[in-house]
């Protein structure tokens, strides 16, 4: 089977290119299962109920997120209303939503998606390593295909989790830093890996935001609202070829696509 994992959707430009290109990618590459990170979909911070409905019209099977999923109250409510929308599993019990979703392809292949968040330079959450161990131990053994979105800041932490889960999951991809890395590969025990998918959004920017707004913050150290940039919009993703009989990856292909015709 083929899985498509799409990097962080940033604001309206990211949503627009996702609508334009996703159906074509799914059709052209015969994608069986699609996962999209949506934590920056609403103006770069969180998600809204209307945007969740908008995404529901697209061929997407599961939605991952990260630390910004909490930024809009109505988006947080989506976590409890639709099990396909995930928050990182290593947030404490009592939070809305869940960090694991088990879906199914059109051919009946069960696919688990696990969302985790890093701790280095981020919040002091439960260990993503220990939470991953617990989730995998409790997962139905009939689920062979497991996709992991690790929303983390440090490249070292992302790579550490990739090797830690090598051979136990099908894919580990990093999100959060919005800069695509060129290290896609299949690890020795059969897990596909990329340190960061990059963002689906405007690349003439500083990680998706207007350059002038971010430069002002760096230069003056005074508060000021960021604003999503608009130019050089690209979709970042990977396609992973997975042996559904044992969950190992046969290959991984990195995508960074512009608007067609632009």
- Residues known to be catalytic: 68
Dist CA 255 CA 24 (whole Å): 13
CB 242 within 8 A of CB 248: yes
Dist CA 8 CA 178 (whole Å): 7
The rounded Cα 240 to chain-centroid distance in angstroms is: 14
Of the candidates 134, 86, 72, 155, which has an alpha carbon nearest to the alpha carbon of residue 114? Answer: 86
Q: Angle of helix 128-138 relative to helix 155-165, nearest 10 degrees?
A: 30
* Residues in the chain, total: 262
The rounded Cα 189 to chain-centroid distance in angstroms is: 23
Of the candidates 51, 55, 64, which has an alpha carbon nearest to the alpha carbon of residue 6? Answer: 64
For residue 63, the surrounding DSSP H or E stretch is strand 62-64
CB 157 within 8 A of CB 132: no
Furthest C-alpha separation in the chain: 56
Three-point CA angle 163, 165, 166, nearest 5°: 60
């Amino acid at each position: 089977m083929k899985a498509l994992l799409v990097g962080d959707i940033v604001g309206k430009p990211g949503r627009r290119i996702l609508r334009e290109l996703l159906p074509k990618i799914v059709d052209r590459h015969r994608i069986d299962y699609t996962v999209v990170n949506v934590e920056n979909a609403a103006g770069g911070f969180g998600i809204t109920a209307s945007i969740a409905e908008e995404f529901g019209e697209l061929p997407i099977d599961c939605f991952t997120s990260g630390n910004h999923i909490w930024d809009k109250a109505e988006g947080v409510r989506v976590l409890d209303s639709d099990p396909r929308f995930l928050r990182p599993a290593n947030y404490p019990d009592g939070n809305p939503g869940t960090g694991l979703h088990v879906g199914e392809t059109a051919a009946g292949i069960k696919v688990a998606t696990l969302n985790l968040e890093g701790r280095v330079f981020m919040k002091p959450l439960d260990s993503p390593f220990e939470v991953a161990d617990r989730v995998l131990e409790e997962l139905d053994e009939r689920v062979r295909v497991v996709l992991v979105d690790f929303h983390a800041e440090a490249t070292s932490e992302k790579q550490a989790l990739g090797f830690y889960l090598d051979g136990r999951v099908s894919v580990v991809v990093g999100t959060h830093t919005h800069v695509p890395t060129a290290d896609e590969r299949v690890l020795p025990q059969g897990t596909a890996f990329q340190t960061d998918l990059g963002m689906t959004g405007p690349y003439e920017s500083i990680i998706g935001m207007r350059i002038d707004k971010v430069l002002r913050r760096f230069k003056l150290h005074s508060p000021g609202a960021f604003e999503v940039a608009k130019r050089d919009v690209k979709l970042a993703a990977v396609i992973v070829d997975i042996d559904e009989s044992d969950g190992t990856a046969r290959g991984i292909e990195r995508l960074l696509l512009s608007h067609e015709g632009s």
